[in-house]
A = this chain, B = another copy of it.
Amino acid sequence: MEEARTTGPSTPFVTPQVARFNEPITLKCGAVLGQYELVYETYGTLNSERSNAVLVCHALNAAHHVAGVYAGDPDNVGWWDNMIGPGKPVDTDRFFVIGVNNLGGCHGSTGPKSINIATGRPWGAQFPVVTVEDWVNSQARLADRLGIRQFAAVMGGSLGAMQSLQWTISYPERLRHALVIACAPNLSAQNIAFNEIARQAIITDPDFHDGNYYEHGVTPRRGLRVARMVGHVTYLSDDEMADKFGRQLKHGRLSYSFDVEFQIESYLRYQADKFAEYFDANTYLRITKVLDYFDPAFECGGNLTLALAPAKASYLVISFTTDWRFSPERSREIVTALLDNRRDVTYAEIDAPHGHDAFLLDDERYHRLVAAYFERIAQETAHE
């Protein structure tokens, strides 16, 4: 937020908006949602040609609040505020940026904790399993609603990047650039394994009640805590954790008990408690499945080049050397498949110590690269 403030009093406060859709949407799993709402925010101004729109897709535990702050709530800063705002790499003085909470989320868009009007009760376990393709389809409807025929760019990191990649396959004509940051063309067995651990922790929590915990007035807090800890460890690099925590003791001496001994334990418990307070378990379960299912090559017999053949966008692909969740090797698979299709690709591996989380952090080389790429987009947009 401090950075946003330095841009001066011209930075307007952000207000979330709701788009209600009454046209049924058929999901990949076969289920049909008769109507649904998407909560979104916008930053900057859509130009008269409607050519400067940028869609920012969120990853596992973020939502539509991408940048800036709400009036009267200065501490709730958007999750990618270091990247997006006036004068920032994605400059909202030039671009019209949209953040949206995805379908199945728990930050206002229709999801498991929403009321299912067919029953008058929360969806709970009945809320369908969603996929990256479903998210992209619902985002396209939001774009229609906002009068955006073609995005200047769709961007995201991690699961967000899977959405920008999918946009180029599902709607090749509707975006000119895709930013695919800290991504993989699909999850490895190890990735799926960590997701499955998180799911098992939630599902076996006695307070889960088969996903219908809302009506019991409880939440599967224990499971969510463990799920969050598993996620958190995989977002950080071993080196980063060594630097940040190492074997530092919480109380300066060992107690030989099951209380917190090491700083890392204290940190994990704190993160877990915080997360379990606000995140919906059914949403978490579904988002881990969204990750597991993402695999554009699957329906092309495992051939990613074939899967990406429809794409027309130009790409900026970025990976981080210490990201062991989605390693640079996985990004290179995407780059190779794009080059096989003779797509325009800029690729960078950034030597950052922060693991998967690096895509959220304020690394100068990373931000300069994104800024330069958006400078190019701005110039192309101006010359169109």
* B258–A285 CB distance below 8 A: yes
A309 to B53, CA, bound (A): 66
* B196–A257 CB distance below 8 A: no
A246 to B302, CA, bound (A): 12
Q: Which of B192, B196, B233, B261 contacts A292 (CB 8 A)?
A: B261
* A241–B193 CB distance below 8 A: yes
The answer to whether the Cβ of A199 comes within 8 Å of any Cβ in the partner chain is: yes
A187 to B264, CA, bound (A): 12
A 28-70 binary contact with B (CB < 8 Å = 1; else 0): 1110000000000000000000000000000000000000000
* Closest-CB distance, A185 to chain B (whole angstroms): 11
A285 to B258, CA, bound (A): 9
A264 to B246, CA, bound (A): 31
* Closest-CB distance, A307 to chain B (whole angstroms): 14
Q: CB-CB < 8 A to A128: which residues of B? A: 256
* A193–B293 CB distance below 8 A: no
How many chain A residues sit at the interface, stated as a range, is 35 or more
The answer to whether the Cβ of A310 comes within 8 Å of any Cβ in the partner chain is: no
A252 to B13, CA, bound (A): 50
* A246–B189 CB distance below 8 A: yes
* A241–B189 CB distance below 8 A: yes
* B269–A200 CB distance below 8 A: yes
Q: CB-CB < 8 A to A261: which residues of B? A: 292-293
The answer to whether the Cβ of A173 comes within 8 Å of any Cβ in the partner chain is: no
Q: Which of B129, B201, B203 contacts A256 (CB 8 A)?
A: B129
Q: CB-CB < 8 A to A186: which residues of B? A: 247
Q: Can you list the 9 inter-chain pairs with the closest CB atoms, starting with the nearest?
A: A29-B256, A189-B241, A189-B245, A204-B222, A129-B256, A189-B264, A190-B238, A196-B265, A197-B229
In the complex, 10 of the A-B residue pairs with CB atoms within 8 angstroms, ordered by the A residue number, are A28-B256, A188-B241, A188-B247, A189-B262, A190-B242, A196-B229, A197-B226, A200-B272, A230-B230, A256-B289
Q: Which of B225, B229, B238, B257 contacts A188 (CB 8 A)?
A: B238
* B201–A226 CB distance below 8 A: yes
* Closest-CB distance, A186 to chain B (whole angstroms): 6
The answer to whether the Cβ of A194 comes within 8 Å of any Cβ in the partner chain is: yes
Q: CB-CB < 8 A to A360: which residues of B? A: none
Interface, chain A (partner B; CB < 8 A): 28-30, 128-129, 131, 186-190, 192-194, 196-197, 199-201, 203-206, 222, 225-226, 229-230, 232-233, 236, 238, 241-242, 244-247, 254, 256-258, 261-262, 264-265, 268-269, 272, 285, 289, 292-293, 295, 298, 324
Beyond A197-B229, A262-B292, is A189–B222 a contact (Cβ under 8 Å)?
A: no
Q: CB-CB < 8 A to A226: which residues of B? A: 197, 200-201, 204, 226
Q: Which of B187, B225, B293 contacts A204 (CB 8 A)?
A: B225
* Closest-CB distance, A177 to chain B (whole angstroms): 29
Q: CB-CB < 8 A to A201: which residues of B? A: 201, 226
Q: CB-CB < 8 A to A28: which residues of B? A: 256
Please name 4 further chain A to chain B contacts, defined as beta carbons within 8 Å, in addition to the given A226-B226, A230-B230, A262-B292, sorted by A numbering. Answer: A189-B241, A196-B268, A197-B226, A200-B226
Q: Nearest chain-B residue to A226 (Cβ)?
A: B201
